[in-house]
Structure 1
Amino acid sequence: MTTATATTPDAPSAAGGHWTPRLWGTLIVLCAALFLDALDVSMVGIALPSIGSELHLSTSTLQWVVSGYVLGYGGLLLLGGRTADLLGRRRVFLAALAVFAAASLLGGLVDDGGLLIATRFLKGVAAAFTAPAGLSIITTTFPEGPARNRALSIYATCGASGFSLGLVLSGLLTSVGWRWTFLMPVPIALIALAFAVRLLPRPVEEKPHGRYDVLGAVTGTTAVLLLVFTATEAQGAGWLSARTLGSLAAVVLLVATFLVVESRTAHPLVRLGIFRNGAVARANVIAFAMAGSYGGFQFVVTLYLQNLLGWSALTMALALLPTGAMVALSAPFMGPVVDRFGTGRLMPIGLLGLAGAFALFMRLDEHGSYPALVLPSIILLGVGFALVFPSVNIAATDGVADDEQGLASGLVNTAVQVGTAVVLAGATAIITAGADGGTTAQAQLDGYRPALLFVTGVALVGLVIAVAGAVLDRRKKATPVRVPDYDYPSVSREDLAERRDEVLSKN
């Protein structure tokens, strides 16, 4: 295993309370990469009709323009996180960011649907390496405590901003041309890469020793890839079809094999003992619920506003702008908020805001008004995301050793991507079943409302887990620590003076 905690003398230091310009530059570069990763998850959605029209793609093929990215991103995050730990976080981050920029450029230039999906998958793979590498660079650069909480709050909020602003930017760019949704990230990625080469600390790394967990990497990565693929394709094949059930059985078998391998190998891809840290385990489940419920909600809102109410892409983008703006503007203040209240208190409040936003939107009808229906949910979403997103990232990496920060980062990012894919697939199936093939406004509403109830339930599951964690933490703090009684010998002033004189005489 590679130990990458020592840095060269010119590496930025966060040990003190004052951050140097170089340290700020390092954080901004890492935030830019995460912003692009999250942006790509949501930005393509509004451009799909234009893409399908120009490239003559079917609906099922268009789905893979979105799913291809999620498949590469979610499927390889564990491998990306562990690779960063083993091969060096700086090296992995720079290489993956360069691949991301190249794939973005190709995606904006191709004229073939298959090639477009391939570039999307490649971008997802690149993001699977930049995200955990960037997060682990932060957690190994900033010491645990207020400095790390501040850095992670800014970092995580940038990710949430990218995710929530994706629809806004997509609407603006699609009005010019759908290719700009692919080309826009290119200059940002290249600028970030140029500064990353200059600013990222150069670790003094030992040569890796021991064996790589090849079997764990194969079984774990294949299990996640197959799960995301199955959830995405289940809508077309049928949830109870032989194909879907067979794929799910294969996922279970792969996961079981993975767990056996990880429990027996000397150098596991995922050290299972990391889940003995209750805060880390809960943070991953909460990340799954948070991202999954929001992904399903965003899908319902897009269909409702565009298909039923007839809103344009640009109008919808502007309508959703307050959420992204609230998350982005809260970034500088979230560090002190986390320090004062703790992640255990903020996560339940944030999840309550998300669940409330989803529940309020169930009032949708054929003539939904923006002030009465959309805006209240949008505001609650902004509050919820601003609180829960940075808190989850902090909780998922707290108390984890430096040489496993990439692993912890990969786990929480995997939870986000898998949650998005699985819950989105479930919401899609519910919408289709509820509408029962009808195209009238009432038929569409009959599909949207159960789907909203489903995503609200997912958010509430996360809320219950967060509350349980907060209660456990409070009980631990309230439990008095028993200190054994010892008889300490008394020391007189004369003895202390005599010992002082003895030490001075020897020196």
Structure 2
Amino acid sequence: MTTTSLPSSAVQAPPRRLTGRLRLTLAVLLVAQFMLAVDFSILNVALPAIGDDLGFSLSGLQWIATAFALCAAGFTLFFGRIGDLIGRKRIFLGSLALLGAASLAGGLAPTPEILIVARIAQGLATAAATPAGLALLTTSFPEGPLRQKALGLNGALMSAGFTAGAVLGGVLTDVLSWRWAFFINVPVALAVLLVAPAVIAESRPAVRPRLDLPGALSVTLGLLGVVYGLTQAGEHGWTHPLALAGLVAGIVLLGLFFLIERRAAQPLVPLNVLRKPTVAWGNLIGLLAFVTETSLVYLLTLYLQKTLGFTALAAGLSFGVLGLGTVAGGLLAPKVIARTSTVAVLVGGGVLQAVSTAALLLLGDTSASMGLLLPATFLGGVGNMLVIVGFMVTATTGLPDREQGLATGLASMSQQIGITMGTPIMSAIVTAATAGVATGAAVLHGVTVAIAVNAALVLLGVLLAALFLRGRRGA
């Protein structure tokens, strides 16, 4: 069954420049995406304070992050497709309302159980709002320079939000209370909800197809299994029964999903879309980009605190330079794509990120190493954001508006899973390399080994772009 979406551009010639309304639309969507990115990292520094205040056990504390990550990654594709069916604007506004309510509940939580429920609700809201917001962005801006500029700004603020979350979480926890790491979402969500209905045009199918429920259940449960297995592997090791059970169950369910999609009359993910090289390879390259840079933040946090003796707040502030690099990369990427191609950006950005990451292999055990760490993370941030914007443009180009929810759902899923996978993978590498020893020298050795793996994964992304996307120039 063929569907057509009805964005405002369907009845008007696409604008060549940003109009006042488009600027306001862009601002609203970027604020929302920045808030969602901040949520991924804002509680990391606050976890010990939350545990002391609410009485979390040491083993239960990790569920504050895991409960959020499971839902944010596992339900992204499902909600992305739901937005295609009932309207992306409706899903976007509803999810932001849920995020505001869940954040208020989390900030007021008197017990660990209520806090975990609030984190689950925040994860579900993020899983719905991220692909819906990205789909509204791509359908509001036509393919070409305007969309590339919008995706560049979105990528810059998204990555900067992840870094800002670590800094903001430390400041709020030290100055006020960990509860403000939740409360800060409430006024932002309210502001977006007040402005968005008047400036964002709805995008919905003219004919509503049936939901592929077996496909939705299998892919959602499969992703939940994989993400759960990865988080358990990061905590207990790759051979732990819970890690193995989660990974095996997830892989089996994802295999079942592809079998279901081959036979479904109206599949959740049409396999012809997955066969497009831009979608398949673009998403794999994007996943590697998120795995590497977000996990590098974790590795450098270990280095700064365990080897150099920095406080959590000082370590968080050190990543401000990385945040500046990502903003610079996001602003630069659309201009480079316009002058060259998306493949050139993917390859060039990946090489810059790989070289900058490899330079961190020279880190030592004295504070003099900050002279290397700061410029390397800045340049690495520029390179990583070039790759992320190139991935977003590649993975959403050449598809009709009716499939933009699917395309952005896949892209958002790659983002969420990459962010979730990176830290457990690198944590397991550090644990194996240090053999359980937590001295500064041992941690430095473990971090160095993990950084080498990180740089190799970046180079893998470069190789994939060069081999499988060559000749595919940007719009």
What residue identity is the alignment partner of 1:191?
A
Contact 2:228 2:247 (8 Å CA) reproduced? no
Distance 1:136 1:320, change over 3 A: same
CA distance in 2, matches of 1:205, 1:183: 36
Written as runs of structure 1 = structure 2, the 5 A alignment for 1:486-505 is: none
TM-score by length of 1: 0.88
Contact 1:14 1:143 (8 Å CA) reproduced? no
CA distance in 1, matches of 2:23, 2:272: 34
Contact 1:135 1:409 (8 Å CA) reproduced? yes
1:294-333 residue CA offsets vs partner (Å, 9 max, x unmatched): 1221111111212332212332222111221233355455
1:191 aligns with 2:187: no
1:213-250 residue CA offsets vs partner (Å, 9 max, x unmatched): 00000000000011000110124444224443333222
CA distance in 2, matches of 1:150, 1:441: 43
Match of 2:334 in 1: 335
1:17 aligns with 2:47: no
CA distance in 1, matches of 2:347, 2:180: 38
Match of 2:254 in 1: 255
Match of 1:180 in 2: 180
Match of 2:450 in 1: 451
SS at match of 2:472: helix
1:70-100 residue CA offsets vs partner (Å, 9 max, x unmatched): 1111101110110010011111111011101
1:412-449 residue CA offsets vs partner (Å, 9 max, x unmatched): 11112212222321211121222222232222223222
1:440 aligns with 2:436: no
Written as runs of structure 1 = structure 2, the 5 A alignment for 1:215-294 is: 215-294=214-293
Distance 1:378 1:237, change over 3 A: closer
What residue identity is the alignment partner of 1:192?
V
Contact 2:5 2:401 (8 Å CA) reproduced? yes
Match of 1:372 in 2: 371
SS at match of 2:349: helix
CA distance in 1, matches of 2:110, 2:65: 17
Contact 2:139 2:404 (8 Å CA) reproduced? yes
Contact 1:423 1:455 (8 Å CA) reproduced? no
SS at match of 1:45: coil
What residue identity is the alignment partner of 1:344?
V
CA distance in 2, matches of 1:318, 1:292: 22
Contact 2:291 2:419 (8 Å CA) reproduced? yes
Gaps of 5+ in 1: 478-507
Distance 1:241 1:48, change over 3 A: closer
CA distance in 1, matches of 2:14, 2:343: 25
Match of 2:460 in 1: 461
Written as runs of structure 1 = structure 2, the 5 A alignment for 1:24-423 is: 24-176=23-175, 177-203=177-203, 205-209=205-209, 211-329=210-328, 331-369=330-368, 371-423=370-422
Q: Report the more deviating stretch, 354-363 or 283-292.
A: 354-363
TM-score by length of 2: 0.93
CA distance in 2, matches of 1:199, 1:174: 35
Gaps of 5+ in 2: none
CA distance in 1, matches of 2:319, 2:12: 38
CA distance in 1, matches of 2:312, 2:11: 43
Give the Å deviation of 1:61.
2.1
CA distance in 1, matches of 2:11, 2:49: 45
Contact 1:51 1:178 (8 Å CA) reproduced? yes
| Percent identity between the two aligned chains | 36
1:188-218 residue CA offsets vs partner (Å, 9 max, x unmatched): 1110111111111134753514x21000000
Distance 1:377 1:269, change over 3 A: same
What residue identity is the alignment partner of 2:307?
L
What residue identity is the alignment partner of 2:421?
V
Give the Å deviation of 1:18.
2.9
1:126-181 residue CA offsets vs partner (Å, 9 max, x unmatched): 11111111111122222211222222222222212212222222222222122222
Distance 1:307 1:85, change over 3 A: same
CA distance in 2, matches of 1:114, 1:2: 45
What residue identity is the alignment partner of 1:313?
A
Distance 1:362 1:455, change over 3 A: same
Aligned residues: 474
Contact 2:229 2:243 (8 Å CA) reproduced? yes
Q: Report the more deviating stretch, 53-62 or 373-382.
A: 53-62
CA distance in 2, matches of 1:138, 1:357: 31
CA distance in 1, matches of 2:164, 2:2: 37
Distance 1:14 1:434, change over 3 A: farther
Give the Å deviation of 1:465.
0.9
Task: Report which of the two structures shows the higher radius of gyration computed on alpha carbons.
Answer: 1
Contact 2:80 2:406 (8 Å CA) reproduced? yes
CA distance in 1, matches of 2:37, 2:459: 24
Contact 1:431 1:450 (8 Å CA) reproduced? yes
1:379-434 residue CA offsets vs partner (Å, 9 max, x unmatched): 12221133122111111100112111111111111112212222321211121222
Distance 1:411 1:84, change over 3 A: same
Match of 1:497 in 2: none
Match of 1:6 in 2: 6
What residue identity is the alignment partner of 1:273?
N
Contact 1:157 1:328 (8 Å CA) reproduced? yes
Give the Å deviation of 1:64.
1.9
CA distance in 2, matches of 1:352, 1:60: 39
